[in-house]
Amino acid sequence: MKMLVTGATGKLGTKVVEALLKSVPASRLAISVRNPEKAEGLRDRGVEVRQGDFDHPETLDTAFAGIDRLLIISADGDHETRIRQHTNAVAAAERAGVKFIAYTSITNASESKLFLALVHRFTEEAIIKTGIPYSFLRNNWYLENEISSIQGVIAGAPWVTSAGSGKVGWALQQDYAEAAATVLAGNGHDNTIYEFSGKPMSQEELASALGTVLGKEVPVQQVDDTTYADIMKGAGVPDFVIPVLVGIQKGIREDTLEIESNDLEKLLGRPVTPIRETLTQIVNGNSQTK
């Protein structure tokens, strides 16, 4: 049985591959990347490195050839780009005769009003239409998405948000990656939907936990979306990114990321990494890169 992970040199993909290598022989694992040169280290460890570009379907035909179990890690970019790329990947998987597709989706993708869910809903539907057994890994929010805010707090800024009392199921990418590896390498996951999430927390609760880690009080500045956008602009966030950040805050405020589920800990076989421990890892990681 041959497994393949797309986007394997990305932040999540790298962690998935490392988790897989702890449980399966490297000879059973292949990766698909746009730039194989970035994966030479994995090739040296026995992983088969294949060139595959979601914008060039002919490369995916070669990349997916002979693959039994495929993990499609969702691409980055705007809606139109991602839908096109995901469509290409799903179609190539069908042409290649892949027997199982796992896909990194988003919380409650089939019903969510969060603007980011559109791409994932489309992709899930495309996978279902192929008739190939699937598993949708509906990841909640990566705590790593908050690194810039955490850095701001370390520098003396308040925690700024327009998300109100909305809650988020933050967890480390490492937890999501290990669960994905379990699904890809395991059995009994055909036609499953997993809602992966940490314990839902409000912005105030997250800021309080961060304050405990830092040993200081972290004030929370609740603002409206317009003020939030102005603050982000003043912080140097590129103009094209600001509407995305505002949309995410709005989605959190509307409870699109609040979900109670123990799917993640079930797949991990352990509790989700506690929030204070995850924040400590991020804070220490930041201090090491300064």
Q: What kind and span of H or E run contains 231?
A: helix 225-234
Q: What pTM did the predictor assign?
A: 0.95
Q: What kind and span of H or E run contains 252?
A: helix 242-253
Residue 149 in contact with residue 220, Cβ under 8 Å? no
Residue 124 in contact with residue 93, Cβ under 8 Å? no
Amino acid at residue number 149: S
Q: From first to last of its 290 residues, what are the pLDDT tens digits of the chain?
A: 999 999 999 999 999 999 999 999 999 999 999 999 999 999 999 999 999 999 999 999 999 999 999 999 999 989 999 999 999 999 999 999 999 999 999 999 999 999 999 999 999 999 999 999 999 999 999 999 999 999 999 999 999 999 999 999 999 999 999 999 999 999 999 999 999 999 999 999 999 999 999 999 999 999 999 999 999 999 999 999 999 999 999 999 999 999 999 999 999 999 999 999 999 999 988 544 33
CA–CA separation, 2 vs 13, rounded Å? 17
* Residue among 145, 127, 147 at smallest CA distance from 137: 127
Give the whole-number percent of the chain exceeding pLDDT 90: 97
Residue 175 in contact with residue 268, Cβ under 8 Å? yes
Q: What is the pLDDT of residue 285?
A: 82
* Residue among 140, 134, 136 at smallest CA distance from 107: 140
∠ CA 99-103-107, nearest 5°, is 145
CA–CA separation, 229 vs 129, rounded Å? 39
Tokens of 193: 């939907």
Give Cα separations from 13 to 19, 33, 91 (angstroms). Answer: 10, 10, 21
Q: Would you kindly state where each structural domain of the chain is located, as residue ranges? A: 3-140+171-197+261-268
Q: What is the pLDDT of residue 159?
A: 97
Q: What is the pLDDT of residue 286?
A: 58
Out of 3.30.420.40, 3.40.1710.10, 3.40.50.720, 3.40.50.300, select the CATH number for domain 3-140+171-197+261-268. 3.40.50.720
Q: What is the pLDDT of residue 16?
A: 98
CA–CA separation, 233 vs 229, rounded Å? 6
Amino acid at residue number 68: D
